[in-house]
Structure 1
Amino acid sequence: MFSRRTRQPELSPLLGAPEPRAVVLVLPGGSVKSHGRPLSIVEWSMRDLAKRVAGEGAGQGVAVHLLRYRFRGWNGEDADTAADARWALAEIARRYGDVPVALVGNSLGGRAAFAVAGHPSVVAVAGVAPWLPEGEPVAQVAGRRILILHGDADRSTASAALSLAYAERAREVTPEVHRLEVPGDGHFLLRHAKDCWAATAEFVLAALGSAETPARLAAADLRTPLPVG
């Protein structure tokens, strides 16, 4: 068994292009506070997205890693999840050099993704039902391309209202902030998971390819419904 002192974060095996020209780092969800092991079911919930991005992006040199955290929780001022995400960005740079990175974070992982967006390799951040508490800083997202997907019925700690407030503040520091609401879905986005993954993949691959955000995702209204079907 790992102790708190010796446990280390890990990157999953590489998916997609074997010699990446760009990388998508997927950050799964977790708990507000816990030093227990991350739950494997949370990682598995993001595997369909990781495989989709890898399959669609391999031709443009995009690869995907999923981050395995040391601990299940954010853990207050320790911000363990963000620390692990910073480690992952440094490790990607060590392995592949100066390649652009797009971050995709779900729930707890969404908070981590936005927290580390100021890293020089990061060009885009996609938050899927991200946990963005009141007052979460936005200065670090300056110059990044942002997409937030959130169920309009999410009343959890990571509520839709909080991500809307975050998106409004983020627009003060970066012009390209898009937010789509998933009608009738809660925090786990069970009814429209495939549509969420399709939109996320489309967004990050456009960002990594230096292409414009697809028109169907580039909504000015931060409460635009997610295109489905």
Structure 2
Amino acid sequence: MPELLPQGGADGAAVRGVVLLLPGGAVRGHGRPSRLAAFGMAEPARRLAAAGRADGVAVVRLRYRFRGWNGAEADTLADARWALDAVRAAHGPGVRIGLLGNSLGGRAAFRAADGPGVVAVAGVAPWLPDGEPVGQLAGRAALIVHGDRDRGEAGAAHSLAYAERARPVTALRRLEVAGAGHLLLSRAADAWAPAVDFLLDALAGRDPFGRLPPEDAAAPLRTPVPVGYGARGGA
């Protein structure tokens, strides 16, 4: 069975919104989910819990049944949809939900954006292969943050193509972190902080894009995240 793991923030009757964290994983694999991928969500979990408490935001992380997406089985997506049902069962049908996915979890987050209660979805280095649907994003605010040196199967070129197709469907921003690869080792805080700002504002009913870097007029879907954003601009 998948499992929801509390990560802090508001609790009890104070909860008005929930951020569901969806870690990375593998394309295929029925082994245990990656502990390293789960550990990689510690930075946004800490930021969200600390800054979201005042707005009644709780943070939970999903532990998948399996490490991989597994083709047509789409195990990660099935687990994400299970988690959405569990969140609503715990906090009521009126709870506002934000999804934050990394890599494999980014694909699940964007696929599950049409779930009841979801108001916003963000992906950091999301795996968005060619042909991914975008219609489910309608009515949800969306954000993609990607390192410009990520050239793998979950690379920046794929998320850029996805954003180009999705932007006519819904309100969407895409940011790039210069010098960062898929693991975001050099600028992790700068990558996570915009997603935290975006989700907290969306769940609180504020403009979800209000605190993000202004769009680059020449290349709006490749807007750079300023160096140091995670220290001065993030939650």
Q: Shorter-chain TM-score: which interval?
A: over 0.9
In 2, are the aligned partners of 1:17 and 1:54 still within 8 Å (CA)? Answer: yes
- The alpha carbon displacement at 1:218 in A equals 5.3
Matching residue of 1:148: 144
Match of residue 165, structure 2, among 155, 166, 169: 169
Matched, 1:75 2:74: no
Identity of aligned residues (%): 58
In 2, are the aligned partners of 1:203 and 1:217 still within 8 Å (CA)? Answer: no
Match of residue 26, structure 1, among 21, 29, 35: 21
Alignment RMSD (CA, Å)? 1.1
Could you tell me which amino acid in structure 1 is paired with residue 16 of structure 2?
R
In 2, are the aligned partners of 1:101 and 1:208 still within 8 Å (CA)? Answer: yes
Question: Size of the alignment, in residue pairs?
Answer: 221
In 2, are the aligned partners of 1:178 and 1:218 still within 8 Å (CA)? Answer: no
- Go from structure 1 to structure 2 and tell me whether the alpha carbon gap of 1:202 and 1:215 turns closer, same or farther (over 3 Å shift): closer
Greater fraction of residues in helix: 2
Could you tell me which amino acid in structure 2 is paired with residue 47 of structure 1?
A
Could you tell me which amino acid in structure 2 is paired with residue 196 of structure 1?
A
Alignment of 1:75-94 (within 5 A): 75-94=70-89
- Secondary structure of residue in 2 paired with 1:11: strand
Could you tell me which amino acid in structure 2 is paired with residue 224 of structure 1?
T
Match of residue 9, structure 1, among 2, 5, 26: 2
Q: Output the CA distance in 2 between the equivalents of 1:137 and 1:105.
A: 16
Matching residue of 1:44: 39
**Superimposed CA distance per residue, residues 166-208 of structure 1 (whole angstroms, 9 cap, x where no aligned partner):** 011111211x210001111110111111112221111100110
Could you tell me which amino acid in structure 2 is paired with residue 60 of structure 1?
D
Alignment of 1:205-216 (within 5 A): 205-212=200-207, 213-216=209-212
Unpaired segments of 5 or more residues in structure 2? 229-235
- The alpha carbon displacement at 1:227 in A equals 2.3
Matching residue of 2:114: 118
**Superimposed CA distance per residue, residues 75-130 of structure 1 (whole angstroms, 9 cap, x where no aligned partner):** 00000000000000000000000201000000000000001100121000110000
Matching residue of 1:101: 97
Q: Output the CA distance in 1 between the equivalents of 2:50 and 2:104.
A: 25
